[in-house]
Amino acid sequence: MRPTRPGVLAACAVLAAVLTWAVLRVWVARGRAEPELLWTTLLTIALLAVVVVAVGWPVRQWVRGEKERRIDALRAARTVALAKAASLAGSLLVGVFAGVVVHYLPTAHIAARRDQLLVAVADLVVSGLLVAAGLVVERSCRVPPRDDGPGGPPPDPAP
């Protein structure tokens, strides 16, 4: 599996931000109220980031040689897949909440809208932490290539 490229994550975030902002503009223009942002979203995203780090920690220890007990290869692969999914989902959430922040900025002087803006900013920051957790776990679970396997270096030529 190839490592996640930051450019892909940035593109996902920008696309999600533009789409969210546009959909909110149309939604409000049709006379509908904005969806309410809850603080529980913040806690849920933070919990996801903690779970990604907690699942990745034993694999990281094994890769660095700090853990004697061998980690199952399937478990390590699933951990990397979880980390990749977390970084991608986090980047989409960063974009969504950035779009909401841009939507609420012009009316931040209204108290109720300022409260929603603060929730959106907090969600944006925690979503960024989810991206970071995914990237860190993905990078820390990389196993260096083995030299003694079939894909190792060619044998030395005979003198």
Q: Read off the pLDDT of residues 40-69 as tens digits, 9 standing for 90 and up.
A: 999 999 999 999 999 988 887 777 776 667
- Cα gap 35→32, rounded to integer Å: 9
Q: Summarize the confidence of residues 90-109 as an average pLDDT.
A: 94
pTM: 0.83
pLDDT for res 88: 96
Average pLDDT, the chain: 86
| Burial zone of 126 (CB within 10 Å; 0-12 exposed, 13-18 middle, 19+ buried) | buried
Give the number of C-alpha atoms closer than 13 A to the C-alpha of residue 94, restricted to the C-beta side: 20
**Residue 125 predicted with pLDDT over 60:** yes
- Cα gap 132→51, rounded to integer Å: 13
pLDDT band per the 50, 70, 90 thresholds, residue 147: low
